[in-house]
Structure 1
């Protein structure tokens, strides 16, 4: 069983690459499901099919598509919780319709996408699942949520659950009754599913997170922060796709500077995401849509490779916290103490390494925990740089 999750900054090509990957998997005889949580119903646009809804529909042999509908999911599976939370606001004089809107907590769509995955894996219905996630800044929070809730679920159930706990915060302002038994039972079942889901997401043999970037500063920086978060959360990142690269032989001088700029950014991305598997994807002459164009794109991306393969399984860098000390470890092969330097700029760490063609600079985002810490010590051994921060 494989779960492949695509994320990246908005507009980088997540949906196109998710669909292309799903088609390639199906062509290789993996029974595949692609799931999207985008309210714009992008799967219908990409595949040029209709009626992609809350139940898997067949797109082609071996490939099924599903569009998560959070309202329907909540009504069918968690209606008791929603009604209970909404009643709290309603009793405070809030309009009933508005009460339900507020009770629909942020990120519910993404959470339901993950819960549907847990359902399909539990019932062993597909060989591969491809998830088209939202912009990476949000996606990683939702991926970590099952682990967070799974770990503290038992404690939460000691007094309240995730959703009823949210409602209980308003108890001093309300006269609502004790939490109904059906709400507690729904929450118990939900926490069990989240605990199983957390094990799936952090298992590198099952789950791979793949980052989509364009050769520009904003999407690369966004993906670097996503990589840092994934490493902190224990989610395996195995591939970075650099998308929308202009061909070098464009017969138009207007693109000359763009091509030169992209070339620099591609090199920067390769340095920043080393040793992950990097795939370069060209900018097509027209919009990619429809089965055949997406299949052509899949062949260009993966060639003879099986997309279900785990291309890399390790942490690019890791943070180890011990008391008031935090240590950053990252791979830097062929580097010694005489050919690199490190400087800190706010919440970023700049590492400058001397390579065959000159200095290469990699800027690594630092976690919030380092805000009150100072850069204390830097060591290098066996191709690993260790940076120590202390309060």
Structure 2
């Protein structure tokens, strides 16, 4: 197989992120994909950013926070969010702790409040940037947190870019000017230069990670689901928002499908419902490739069963290839004028809202929004 996109010196690794509703088998699918890539001679690392850390259970190995060689061309890693926070957030956390202590918040409560919700998982995702820069791997497979958390995290880089451009430079200058005066009049610790340096470094890393995740030639997301109506609906919503944020979904994985030869009347009824639901998947996600795996007769853990799952999903195809490359939005020409075309599947027209502020186009779909910096050709329209 070796190719993923003709890796070589200076080439970033092929990166595949698996996400889906909790319990659908995304960890097993991620591990199976990694084993299949490694078997083809590609240096592959599979890492889990899911706080549940099921990757160790799936591989039947004790994994650590650093990539561990577990087979020929195969490494595995369970990222420790706390460790990543200590590396990336120490100065900010220390200042917030002193600020809270100044207001009577102490101990565990203060420690919890110094880390905004979702930041621990966000720091875990920064490992993707690290592996891209290291040059050690041809393929990076990521077992992400369940879809809700993943969506929230993938929207962070857009917010980070806004803070870097609009807020942090001014805040830093204002605080630096006010610090000598503040010491004389108020007993509140103002953020030091180290705090702003940490914040700016984090924001810069997030923007770099954003560039990696939106590189559709090297990075894609694969949605894992079971053929259950409720799970399919959540996956459709996820797909809508991934398109809104500009991330490429190159495949949909439908896991735990009852085989056609199921004879038992109880499971035959389930099989019939699944067949109907598979039609919904095909209709809803077309033309994205749909990979299916049967409901195996034993639990998918360990090398043998993971290899069975990998063979079922990919057969003779390349698991590291970009299986679908349609862009989420593009510029087209209509009647001689440039038009920004954004594909937002499953969104009702009534739920969509557009607003232009200067160079920014704000797109809302339900409760989610994305800010797109318009190219110069579209700013004046």
TM-score band by shorter chain is 0.7 to 0.9
1:13 matched to 2:25: yes
Match of 2:159 in 1: 148
Deviation at 1:254, TM superposition (A): 0.9
**Partner Cα distance (2:241, 2:39) in 1:** 33
The equivalent of 1:250 in structure 2 is 262
Matched residue pairs, number? 329
- The verdict on how the C-alpha distance between 1:234 and 1:99 changes in structure 2, with shifts beyond 3 A counting, is same
The structure whose residues are more often helix, as a share, is 2
Partner of 1:138: 149
On the 8 A contact 1:33/1:126 being kept in 2, the answer is yes
| Equivalent residue in structure 2 for 1:80, among 91, 96, 106 | 91
**Distance (whole Å) between structure 1 residues aligned to residue 368 and residue 159 of structure 2:** 21
In structure 2, distance between residues paired with 1:243 and 1:175: 58
Question: TM-score of the superposition, structure 1-length normalised?
Answer: 0.77
| 1:213 and 2:213 correspond | no
CA distance in 2, matches of 1:194, 1:61: 32
Structure 1 pair 310–157 and aligned structure 2 pair: CA distance change class (3 A): same
The match for 1:158 among 150, 169, 172 is 169
Match of 1:54 among 65, 72, 75: 65
The yes-or-no answer on 1:263 pairing with 2:253 is no
User: Per-residue deviation at 1:310?
Assistant: 0.4
User: Could you say which residue in structure 2 is the equivalent of 1:32?
Assistant: 44
Please state whether the residue corresponding to 2:47 is helix, strand or coil: strand
Among 365, 370, 378, the residue aligned to 1:367:
365
RMSD: 2.9
- The answer for the alignment partner of 1:124 in structure 2 is 135
Q: Which has more strand, going by share of residues?
A: 1
Listed as ranges, the gaps of 5+ residues in structure 2 are: 1-12, 176-181, 333-339, 353-363, 370-381
Matches of residues 176-191 of structure 1 in structure 2 within 5 Å? Answer: 176-191=188-203
Shift of 1:318: 8.8
Q: TM-score under structure 2 normalisation?
A: 0.79
In 2, the alpha carbon distance for the partners of 1:219 and 1:370 equals 19
Q: Is the 8 A contact 2:347 2:365 kept in 1?
A: no
Shift of 1:112: 1.4
Pair 175,271 (structure 1): closer, same or farther in 2 beyond 3 Å? farther
Query: What residue in structure 2 maps to residue 240 of structure 1?
Result: 252
Greater RCO structure (CA 8 Å; 6+ sep): 2
Q: Verify the 8 A CA contact 1:8 1:135 in the aligned structure 2.
A: yes
Match of 1:111 among 95, 117, 122: 122
